[in-house]
Structure 1
Amino acid sequence: MKSKENSTTLRMLMPQWQGGDNPNYSFGAELLEWLAPENNKHITVKVPVSMSDDTPLEKEEGIIGDIVGKEQLLNQLDAANHLIKAYQPDRIVMFGGDCLVEQAPFAYLNERYSGELGLLWIDAHPDITTPKEYYNGHTYVLGNLLGEGAPEFAAKVDKPFRPENVMIAGIDQPTGQESELISRLSIKSASSSQLKESSKTVLDWIETNRIKYLVIHLDLDVLDPKIFRSLLFANPLSDLEIDFPMGKMQLFEVAKLINEVSDVTDVVGLGITEHLPWDAINLKQLLQKMPILND
């Protein structure tokens, strides 16, 4: 493989929102990409996405269950794959959007590195459900990459990840279905409390499986919403009861983990997802209502 100096890095902005059925994911992705350090050595592309027109998405019939916005999601997955194949990068950075944006870049990189790629999934949720359990596409993505998940999406992964090359970090309360799949596939995991102490469980996994190349998924909801407020569960205007596990990690703990794994393996992909900056979203909506700014 090429050295870092001679490799091509593709930065992708994919403001996809349909996987989480929340149009605010689009603005969160755009702001996230703007916040990232500039790098004129990288090629930046934007994946075309159908933007919300305030029409509610419908549940569409799938192979094993209904999926919200299924056809739009499949079309956008194809668009991302088309761009990646056009550029044939060695490395990919993805700014999302809902977690389903990770499927195209990670599946491509696993092929590029001959199925020997490791995948570190930093997330409060493992994203290994199926349409039998949930309607929203962002809950299937790691399952799709493993050849499980939603069959119509998993079919677009030519080389599924080997389960031993996958580790889930920051997960504390998997559901029964998630625990069963993690156990059946013998997927390694580390809780937020383990990672608070050290990165040893992740570093041991890298060493044991001789992982030379690694991609990292970072769902920002792995962070503690009491500390980092730009998350689904921290919406100040919502009174909905939250029945999903919330993240417990701190920003410095995530930075420490990513830096330590980067010291021992070659990180060739990074995806950051599910950014919901509520203050900026609400301020943007206020500005849109001011006549002098729109006349």
Structure 2
Amino acid sequence: MAPTFVVVPQWQGSVSPRAMRLSDGAEAIRGDLPSSATREVPVPVEAGDSQGTGIDRFSTLVTVRERLAATLRGSTDAVLTIGGDNGISLAAVEHAAREHPGHLALVWLDAHPALHTPESSPSGGFAGMVLRAITGEGAEGLTLGADDRIPLERVVIGGARDIDPAEADLIQELRIVSLPIGDLDTPDALVAAVLATGATAFYLHLDLNVLDPSVLGGLADLYPFGLSVEALNAAITALRANFELAGATIAGFSPSSPEAASDDLPSILRIIGALTR
């Protein structure tokens, strides 16, 4: 993958107490990216309002989605999109799906499956709805259409360990592939799951909270028993050896201070290296 980067310091999709630090995390990562290969999507300062959709800060999220889509338009190379919160994956996956129509799998590595709709969400935070929106269900303006959505049979969730009852019921009812952390110790199960979708290319959504907090301290949400950087990079390498990388998202970096960001950046840059070398 040619190293092309788009930085989106959006925080409005998160309901974490550390949500506003997500913009700081995006900027910290940007500082270590090559300026000639990096673009930034401006994010409004205002939080935004729900406009009756059941999604907190909906108006700002729609604005950022439109700006990111415009930035990606015309790009034919795989792009690494840096957040910010999970919501940035909506427009990024949409772009990749248009470049790989009918042949794209979505690998969703995240402590949360993000399978809520506005009706089922206990928080109203879009970060908990993004994957469901990518599959075509949600509020108009923050949902992929029929031509661009990724059907659930081409979605592979990995490492989710904070799953609400409504999400657990959906996973069981629709037999959504959801691999626990233990299945990701080696790449074999993940590669096999993507092979089973019949896809020839994959988009990787990576929320850094899939990692163990002992590995990375600057996380918006801390959930124990996560992946190591070594296991994650082995999975990325194996996926790239078997499928075309159509693009990737890195989200969820929320450092408490510039000094704390510096402690975590070497691990994040190792992950970026696995995606771009």
TM-score, L = length of structure 2 = 0.84
How far apart are the structure 1 equivalents of 2:251 and 2:157?
Answer: 15
Shift of 1:102: 0.8
Q: 1:120 aligns with which of 81, 104, 107?
A: 107
In structure 1, what is the Cα distance between the partners aligned to 2:67 and 2:92? 12
Match of 2:12 in 1: 18
Alpha-carbon contact 2:49-2:59 (below 8 Å) kept = no
Equivalent residues, number: 257
Q: CA deviation at 1:220?
A: 0.4
Q: Which position in structure 2 is the counterpart of 1:88?
A: 75
Quote the Cα distance in structure 2 between the aligned partners of 1:33 and 1:219.
Answer: 17
- In 1, Cα distance between equivalents of 2:125 and 2:238: 33
Q: Which residue of 1 aligns with 2:134?
A: 145
- For the residue of structure 2 that corresponds to 1:278, the secondary structure is coil
How many angstroms apart in 2 are the aligned matches of 1:283 and 1:143?
31
**Matching residue of 1:262:** 240
Give the conservation status (yes or no) of the 8 Å contact 2:49–2:60.
no
Offset of residue 100 of structure 1: 0.3
- Aligned partners of 1:193 and 1:74: how far apart in 2? 36
CA distance in structure 1 between the partners assigned to 2:10 and 2:131 by the alignment: 17
Q: Matches of 2:148 and 2:42 in 1, distance apart?
A: 25
Moved more, 144-153 or 162-171: 144-153
Residue 39 of structure 1 deviates from its aligned partner by 8.6
Aligned partner letter, 1:211: A
- Work out whether residues 143 and 150 of structure 1, in 8 Å CA contact, stay in contact via their aligned partners in 2: no
Shift of 1:187: 1.8
Q: 2:151 aligns with which of 157, 162, 176?
A: 162
Counterpart selection for 1:111 from 98, 108, 111: 98
Query: Displacement of 1:246 after TM fit?
Result: 4.7
Q: Give unpaired runs (5+ residues) of structure 1.
A: 235-244, 285-295
Q: 1:31 aligns with which of 28, 33, 38?
A: 28
Identity %: 24
Deviation at 1:194, TM superposition (A): 1.5
RMSD: 2.5
Distance 1:11 1:157, change over 3 A: farther
Distance in 1 (alpha carbons) for counterparts of 2:249 and 2:255 = 17
More RCO (CA 8 Å, sep 6+): 2
After TM superposition, the structure 1 = structure 2 runs for residues 1-295 of structure 1, keeping only pairs within 5 Å, are 10-21=4-15, 22-36=19-33, 38=34, 43-51=37-45, 57=47, 60-63=50-53, 66-85=54-73, 87-132=74-119, 133=121, 134-154=123-143, 158-196=147-185, 198-233=186-221, 246=224, 248-280=226-258
Normalized against structure 1, the TM-score is what?
0.79
Structure 1 residue ranges (4+ consecutive) displaced by more than 4 angstroms after TM superposition: 155-158, 281-284
1:157–1:208 Cα change, 3 Å: closer
